[in-house]
Structure 1
């Protein structure tokens, strides 16, 4: 099934795209596509070239700048505690396009692909950097590092379905005739139009945090009402990976979108919890130097701050001292002053 260069045979890729492969061929192509992002990019580029050979199928035009400005406004306007708007705006994202290493054009096949191209499944993947994508319906997605999203070139007439592995922030264009569905591991997120964050890492609990609008969270293909929850803005839905239990939490998360907007909002938060949030997001570890700091309560907002600046604020606020040893921070206090918050 491989050609002389050791790549997948283009004729077999065409059969796979036309859904005419046998079970054995189908598994072989899927295995090759999953081997690397380069294989997926080559396949997508082949499809693109084959389709471009005379295709006159009208394309849906999406204003990328407008869509991403809207997403930036949604993210910047979100305040975990008070919902207060902030001044900073995200800059218009710069898209990175993947070029395939080699392309072989199959002349004469464009008529077939005019019909089949709408069914094409595309993939966007992130490694060490955030990736941003605008879908053909105008919905905007920001993909966290080490995450993948599968989506069709064009949605069908019944639903807008995508598949997520990892974490992503979604800002969905409203369409009451076509719900937007995210397949995320054992879970499924269904919306008409809203903004929310989805965590769906392998072997971890699925977590959906709603920023605006309403979201339905359920097990995949689940019809039992007890395994569905409706989430409103400010609430979080969780699917327990081990038990399959679906439930809702109504609480604030200090670092709700830290991976995206680098913002931390503490509102009367006990210092041990502050340390836990900093450990999670900055890759550090706190050790207790002997004093109990559980009565120290912090109210402050950090945005795009280094860990050194954050520690300096905490030291000055509570008369603490931090001793740094690589990634370990020892908390030392001889005369605490936790009677007043920042």
Structure 2
């Protein structure tokens, strides 16, 4: 598809055959519709400025032809008939180049656009344009700004993501999670956004967390848990490696409450483990489970280690004390 034919289409100067060609091209792919939408905006702006333009028309037309010749076309170039409109082809081409520059500037400096990265049923690794590497747990979604050379901005919508950020002091790496903002220049850390809560755990370097004007710095081995109604940021030591199970393929408990182990297994296996009473859930366990051992294998280890019994009701699993 040529830009000249699109101009004719906008001016209603296409033949019946050419009109059918353009319509078929528009219906073939949504990206074609997006291109045409941008092209039409440039065209309309160009018509308004055409009368006032002092651009060298012959030179502009040569530049326009050079640009369009580089585009890959899916059909032979259309035969161009003289326009019935009062605007000349050279004037139109000159204005298109002028407005095209304005449009390009808008794309660079206007509202940011983001690219989505979604992990559905399996863990996904994604490398960003600056060399930073993300590992997304299942059922996670992030978006990063298209113009990564100017900004390093990421939005975490949901799920569990490990960030290994490339060092760059001149361009801080910023993650937005609802009302929470996380800023680093080069470090590794994990962020979980689940059930309205946000948890940040730092493995290396320094991470700055902000909420409603409050700021705290987290260092290696520190974390912050931000609830839905949180008004204060409180950091604490991270005491286990359970958060890392989707990367290590291990559930590593280190004097960890059994309730937390059950919660993480529910995330990993999509199970519904519950504990009969809070005192049992608060009891701790120190052991390593293999994710590949499966839910049944790991429940057996818990049962033997903790001296509990397991009761099943369809998909629900209840852990309770032996009487």
Tell me if 1:206 matches 2:198. Answer: yes
* Paired position in structure 1 for 2:134: 141
Tell me if 1:328 matches 2:321. Answer: no
Q: Which fold has the larger relative contact order, with Cα–Cα distance below 8 Å and residues 6 or more apart in sequence?
A: 1
1:125-169: CA deviation from partner (whole Å, max 9, x where unpaired): 233333321111110012233333222344244x42222211321
Tell me if 1:313 matches 2:305. Answer: no
Q: Is contact 2:116-2:141 (8 Å) kept?
A: yes
Structure 1 position 294, deviation (Å): 6.7
Structure having the higher Rg: 2
Query: Structure 1's 332 and 52: CA in aligned 2 closer, same or farther, altered over 3 A?
Result: farther
Q: Is contact 1:179-1:190 (8 Å) kept?
A: yes
Query: Structure 1's 308 and 179: CA in aligned 2 closer, same or farther, altered over 3 A?
Result: same
Pairs within 5 Å for 1:291-306: 293=280, 297-304=284-291, 305-306=293-294
Pairs within 5 Å for 1:124-135: 124-135=117-128
Structure 1 position 296, deviation (Å): 6.1
**Aligned-partner Cα distance in 2 for 1:15–1:149:** 32
Tell me if 1:248 matches 2:241. Answer: no
* Paired position in structure 2 for 1:10: 35
Structure 1 position 295, deviation (Å): 8.9
TM-score normalised by length of structure 2:
0.60
Q: Is contact 1:172-1:192 (8 Å) kept?
A: yes
Query: Structure 1's 307 and 186: CA in aligned 2 closer, same or farther, altered over 3 A?
Result: same
Q: Indicate the SS of the match to 2:243.
A: coil
Tell me if 1:163 matches 2:145. Answer: no
**2:251 alignment partner, one of 232, 240, 264:** 264
Q: Indicate the SS of the match to 2:287.
A: strand
* Paired position in structure 1 for 2:14: none
Pairs within 5 Å for 1:1-342: 5=27, 8=33, 10-13=35-38, 54=70, 121-157=114-150, 159-167=151-159, 168-200=161-193, 204-219=196-211, 224=213, 227-253=214-240, 255-282=242-269, 283-286=271-274, 288=276, 293=280, 297-304=284-291, 305-331=293-319
What is the count of residue pairs matched by the alignment? 245
Q: Is contact 2:275-2:320 (8 Å) kept?
A: no
Consecutive unaligned residues of structure 1, counting only runs of 5 or more, are 21-50, 56-102, 336-342
**Aligned-partner Cα distance in 2 for 1:206–1:114:** 37
TM-score normalised by length of structure 1:
0.57
Structure 1 position 266, deviation (Å): 1.7
Q: Indicate the SS of the match to 2:234.
A: strand
**Aligned-partner Cα distance in 1 for 2:40–2:210:** 35
Query: Structure 1's 206 and 14: CA in aligned 2 closer, same or farther, altered over 3 A?
Result: farther
Query: Structure 1's 181 and 313: CA in aligned 2 closer, same or farther, altered over 3 A?
Result: same
Q: Is contact 1:136-1:153 (8 Å) kept?
A: no
Q: Is contact 1:123-1:148 (8 Å) kept?
A: yes
Greater per-residue helix proportion: 2
**Aligned-partner Cα distance in 2 for 1:245–1:53:** 59
